Structure 1
Amino acid sequence: MISNFAGSTVNLLLKDSPLLNLIGALVGCALLYFAVRWAVPADELQQPAIRLRVMRIAVLSLAVLVSLLSLYMLSSLAMWIGNTLEVRLGSIGFLGTFIADLGDILGMTLTVISALAGAGVLMSLTDRLGRKIIKATTKPMAKGIMMVMSAIAGAALFFMIMAGLDWLYQFKNAALTIAWPLGLGALLGLILSIRLNPRDNFPIGLVIYYIARTIFNALRSIEALIMVIVFVVWVGIGPFAGVLALSLHTIAALAKLYSEQVESILPGPLEAIKATGANRLQTIVYAVVPQIIPPYISFTMYRWDINVRMSTIIGFAGGGGIGFLLIQNINLLNYRAASAQMLAIALVVASMDYISSRLREETI
């Protein structure tokens, strides 16, 4: 909801103001940097007071909102630049389309990322609260609380799964999409709560990890060229189908690379930071993040380079862009236009390769 509010605010007030979007994005990045540096200090000799901890949480929450606004401003700026270049560049206006598509992808994914991050934070807070409540109550009462909460969680999980299936297939049957999922989910959650001890630790993080890894492995096993054929049938021929195919395949590939990089970090910095008495957030900021940022930048740049080349290939299957124009001219035997487009593709790929290599050298 916060992400939608931020996006609506930017679209309403700053949609046609590129200068304000640029200034807002830069100011937001600066505020985010200083807020994190203040709220997560490197050295802390004693435990902070409750008032200071509350202020830090408030500042970090405000920093998250500011970062969302900055990213939406950056998305709006990229779309404005892309649309402007598309009109003014003429025959090579596909470069502007590419920039506009990047901004559109950023705006679309922000809502999903914000929802997942908010769900993770809410899950962590409710988990801590539930553990404190269970520890403070007797075993029969803890068992009863666990049964009620497990039934609610099971019903909510089954309802969300069925809601997704209903969105795809339009069952138009309230009993099938609401009543049965709620009842079966509550029953399954109740059965699990009877068999489990309320004071046992449940590895929810490990379960989420394996589920997400299975989904990403399945997505990564399907090539973007196959995905674009499916999306062309779904949303029609055009750049949007290509954007969806590339985005889905990119998310799956980068998730694999990012997760493996986190798993392979050196334990030495973690032990050194923990030895100073740092909490979990400080350990992540000063021991984990410095180790993963350089490879993350390298992986992202490399994937960007791959997507530039793949955008031509998926255009052959109806994904829009210059690849779609190229296959049309080849079929029409218009080899003069096709050769010019092939030359433009070669120039774009070479330019993107040079730019990405220079960016990697500067940032890593």
Structure 2
Amino acid sequence: MLNVGGIVLTPVLAFALIRWGIPRSGLETSGLFVRISRILFLSLVVASGIIFLQLLANSALLVGQALIEPLGSFGFIGGFISQLGDVLNMITPAVIALAGGAVVGSPLSSLGQRISDRYSIRSVKIINFLLSAIAGALLFILIGALINWFYQINDPLKIYGWPGGAGALIGLLLALRSNPKDSIPIGSSLYAITRTILNAIRSIEPLVMVIVFAVWVGIGPFAGVLALGLHTIAALAKLYSEQVESIMSGPLEAVQATGANRLQTIVYAVVPQIIPPYISFTMYRWDINVRMSTIIGFAGGGGIGFLLQQNINLLDYRAASAQMLAIAIVVASMDYISSTLRKRFV
């Protein structure tokens, strides 16, 4: 009961805090106390979002495990809900890390710029060498820990020693090539790295992904959901990013002319331009996933495709024809629903 109450109340609280923390008018003047209060309230929004994820994950685990026995032959639905709770528990630390990095990154960036402006080139170069070596070592140690999670090497020297040394060396080499007084385009670097990772994910077909996930989590609908979900994230990220890059600059200049800050410009000038195409892209990808789910079932992704393959192998063509008819009805219905929603909202 507490989980349900928390799931209902935390989004309401976060919405109220966002409405107060982001002023609608860019011309209003705010004192130092009000600005600090808004920063604290926006930090509470991030914390409430993390709490919401944790409560939702615990509720999914409890509800899924409670539904397995009562549903009988449909108990896989309860197992699927429970596995979704496990996935949410897995991604919550990543969300916390991203939120913490966003909160800490801005003041550290300002601190680094002050150090660069205040000290001499030699001092800044020494600091740059040290920080680059530490950053490279930490990055490669994280990669080694990830590899150890997959392959269970359990050798500290191979997991932490060699990757840390190689990362520190690469960081020093990169620091040698850079000018210590130059500002690093962090946003562009993150954009390039993220886009490269998503391009690599998108180049792998969902049929190959479902085979990997079937080995990882077992044959069933959860493996199919993971395969389609990962490929969908990579595909939609490309479409979303291209849409953001092609927005009109007129509304941006108009909102900035009122004195709006960067966050207000995004909320009131960027978001209204991207919502209609985002809805259209999402519906289009949903339509693709409905069709792909049948093929995913043939490769171990569960669902009606897996049942259809079983009936064809057993020469039970009557049941196979009924399932093919059900697939055709579902695909046609989803196509009609998606086209109706696109006409109404886009």
TM tier, shorter chain? 0.7 to 0.9
CA 205–152 in structure 1, closer or farther in 2 if over 3 Å, else same: same
Distance 2:309 2:284 in 1: 26
2:298–2:306 contact (8 Å) kept in structure 1: yes
Q: CA deviation at 1:159?
A: 1.2
Q: Secondary structure at the match of 1:316?
A: helix
Tell me whether 348-357 or 85-94 shows the greater mean CA deviation.
Answer: 85-94
| Residues 1:191 and 2:173 aligned together | yes
| Runs (5+) with no aligned partner, structure 2 | none
Distance 2:223 2:279 in 1: 26
1:246–1:307 contact (8 Å) kept in structure 2: yes
1:15-34 superposed matches below 5 A: 21=4, 24-34=6-16
| Residues 1:39 and 2:27 aligned together | no
Distance 2:240 2:201 in 1: 16
128, 137, 146: which one pairs with 2:128? 146
Q: Which amino acid is 1:241 matched to?
A: A
CA 172–34 in structure 1, closer or farther in 2 if over 3 Å, else same: closer
Q: Secondary structure at the match of 1:288?
A: helix
Distance 1:41 1:89 in 2: 49
Q: CA deviation at 1:279?
A: 1.3
CA 356–104 in structure 1, closer or farther in 2 if over 3 Å, else same: farther
98, 101, 113: which one pairs with 1:119? 101
Distance 1:140 1:51 in 2: 39
1:1-364 superposed matches below 5 A: 13-14=2-3, 21=4, 24-70=6-52, 109=91, 111-364=93-346
CA 332–77 in structure 1, closer or farther in 2 if over 3 Å, else same: same
CA 349–275 in structure 1, closer or farther in 2 if over 3 Å, else same: same
Tell me whether 110-119 or 95-104 shows the greater mean CA deviation.
Answer: 95-104
Q: Secondary structure at the match of 2:300?
A: coil
Q: CA deviation at 1:75?
A: 6.3
1:294–1:363 contact (8 Å) kept in structure 2: yes
Q: Secondary structure at the match of 1:290?
A: helix
Tell me whether 198-207 or 149-158 shows the greater mean CA deviation.
Answer: 198-207
1:94–1:321 contact (8 Å) kept in structure 2: no
CA 103–298 in structure 1, closer or farther in 2 if over 3 Å, else same: farther
Q: Secondary structure at the match of 1:317?
A: helix
Q: Which amino acid is 1:216 matched to?
A: L
Distance 1:142 1:126 in 2: 15
Q: Which amino acid is 1:137 matched to?
A: Y
Q: Which amino acid is 1:352 matched to?
A: M
Tell me whether 139-148 or 278-287 shows the greater mean CA deviation.
Answer: 139-148
1:158–1:182 contact (8 Å) kept in structure 2: yes
1:105–1:243 contact (8 Å) kept in structure 2: no
TM-score by length of 1: 0.82
Distance 1:226 1:313 in 2: 12
* Paired residue total: 346
Tell me whether 92-101 or 235-244 shows the greater mean CA deviation.
Answer: 92-101
Q: Which amino acid is 1:63 matched to?
A: V
Q: CA deviation at 1:313?
A: 1.0
Q: Secondary structure at the match of 2:108?
A: helix
Q: Which amino acid is 2:105 matched to?
A: M
Q: Secondary structure at the match of 2:25?
A: coil
